[in-house]
Structure 1
């Protein structure tokens, strides 16, 4: 009983934090969040203070290599995505990716006259979700199915909202087919390695965003899976820097052989930012406008790893060279200046390409309204695109990211 009382206390505290931060906005979702015991859906033994942290996801299953394949997402992401769906009592909701907790929140929000269907490809995950939902009193309010949600969920017709709780590289035609004409699709969409939870609604033959939230999710499996390509670059001691490509990997990665053996170049942008200020939109700008964009990871002992607090895991490849986003002290110690450090014979050019985009972001996008996202299914043609628009090719269509410049 003492643990339940402590959990309720922490849940109310967390609700207050989410309200204050603007993630939790509607009265129905606030009531749902205060009612559903989050701790009942995480693995046994998970400390309550971990369970009820605002930004802490709790892994519920790992694969044979230790990678997370299912989790209870961070609380701020869960409530933000449900708010994005703009649910009302009586609505029908398809949840892609099961865990139990999020489905229970959805059931509370749509009420007894609504319908929640939760689908996951992994029978172990759906078995666990079913058992936990029953134990928490939601067994007759949520239908849990084992299926590949990248395909049509037959026998269920259309849904007022589809909320995808796994990282998707593309939009499944099945989701568009089962989304009601007035419906909202909320999906953590990967765009060249950078993710946003985007709420889409139909606009004629395509989809247009109504909101977007910074997020991160375990990747989708099944027909919607998309594998990254990784290039491991050893230094002279055999320690490795890894470049990971979501899309647009170089045609001849052998050009990078031995790239870490030479001296490092630096180019600085003159663009500064104060400590504690988010610049997540810079990463999205890179994803849209920086050809050769990729993620970077460095093993301990490599030169970048020795300066880990002065760089971020975003890089760009140019032929036989690569550069990565770096910072150095600025603003009399209250902030940093953006720049790029680089390796390879043409490292200066790679760093210059990254810095050019830092400066373009600063001039054209920074401190302006958020970009608008659109999805154009195969067979449709993008029209009336603003001048500052990035176009990303997907299997089933195109994604456009348009930044306001006025």
Structure 2
């Protein structure tokens, strides 16, 4: 995922272990594919994390961040902002914004501890409303899952700027880089990834239906849009089991990613399904 010397140097320099909860094993911290949760709510829902290293590297490369640039990060935490500070160097400027004061306070403290306090400005605000007085940025990196790109973000994007945003499309997320092209945006790359959802005015909660089986285990259906009348599912797991084959064959080592995205876009009633172990 790292293709430029600036990004390589940043990952070799910033101490990732400093930005995760104390006691997190180093093999977890530095596993390229693992994120580390830093905040959950009272229901165990993930509110903030240090994203997996591979997607952080990929997003910086997707954006084409270079020395001297002004970069806006939507969704704070500290570590990714420090990486960006290393890439843009002393002549660049990083603003990191988050709606949650706990997260911005923690990010500010960690950036101070690691020597980045003067290189990253952390702001507590709902980025959906824009950042008055901040002007344009060469690059915008959004590190929370969004259902749309609000006009306020584009108001901050330079005429030749790039925004990288994890777009959630009917439950399926792709991190997409868009370059401003006159009066519209042109996508230039995409990556499979998952992020904690956007909070505040831009939030769009899922509808979740939990269906119990005869043993008290559950199958959960998660809908972004087009959720059915839940009463139609009452007792469905008490009926006799049946199997219906789709007729679609997926080859060995063939990714499901494109199929998932196509189904999300074209299959009526599409949802994400999760089942407890042992569900019948």
CA distance in 2, matches of 1:94, 1:228: 27
2:59 to 61, 81, 104: 81
How do 1:212-223 and structure 2 match up within 5 A?
212-223=190-201
How do 1:6-405 and structure 2 match up within 5 A?
23-250=1-228, 252-263=229-240, 264-274=242-252, 276-303=253-280
Q: What TM-score results when the alignment is normalised by the length of structure 2?
A: 0.96
Task: Give SS of 2:32's match.
Answer: coil
Residue 96 to residue 270, structure 1, CA distance change in 2 (3 Å): closer
- In the TM superposition, what is the alpha-carbon distance from 1:268 to its structure 2 partner? 4.1
The one-character-per-residue Cα deviations of 1:261-280 (angstroms, maximum 9, x if unpaired) are 22323214151311x44221
Q: What TM-score results when the alignment is normalised by the length of structure 1?
A: 0.67
The one-character-per-residue Cα deviations of 1:29-51 (angstroms, maximum 9, x if unpaired) are 11111111111111111111111
CA distance in 2, matches of 1:128, 1:118: 12
- In the TM superposition, what is the alpha-carbon distance from 1:143 to its structure 2 partner? 0.1
Residue 62 to residue 233, structure 1, CA distance change in 2 (3 Å): same
CA contact (8 A) 2:160 2:181 kept: no
RMSD across aligned positions (CA): 1.3
CA distance in 1, matches of 2:64, 2:250: 37
- In the TM superposition, what is the alpha-carbon distance from 1:145 to its structure 2 partner? 0.5
CA distance in 2, matches of 1:259, 1:222: 35
Larger Rg: 1
Q: Point out 4+ residue stretches in structure 1 off by more than 4 angstroms.
A: none
CA contact (8 A) 2:66 2:88 kept: yes
Residue 270 to residue 116, structure 1, CA distance change in 2 (3 Å): closer
Q: State the structure with bigger RCO (CA 8 A, min sep 6), 1 or 2.
A: 2
CA distance in 1, matches of 2:68, 2:33: 30
CA distance in 1, matches of 2:274, 2:12: 39
The one-character-per-residue Cα deviations of 1:330-366 (angstroms, maximum 9, x if unpaired) are xxxxxxxxxxxxxxxxxxxxxxxxxxxxxxxxxxxxx
Which consecutive residues of structure 1, in runs of 5 or more, have no partner in the other structure?
A: 1-22, 304-406
- In the TM superposition, what is the alpha-carbon distance from 1:235 to its structure 2 partner? 2.8
Task: State the number of aligned residues.
Answer: 279
- In the TM superposition, what is the alpha-carbon distance from 1:149 to its structure 2 partner? 1.2
- In the TM superposition, what is the alpha-carbon distance from 1:140 to its structure 2 partner? 0.4
Task: Give SS of 2:127's match.
Answer: coil
CA distance in 2, matches of 1:242, 1:33: 38
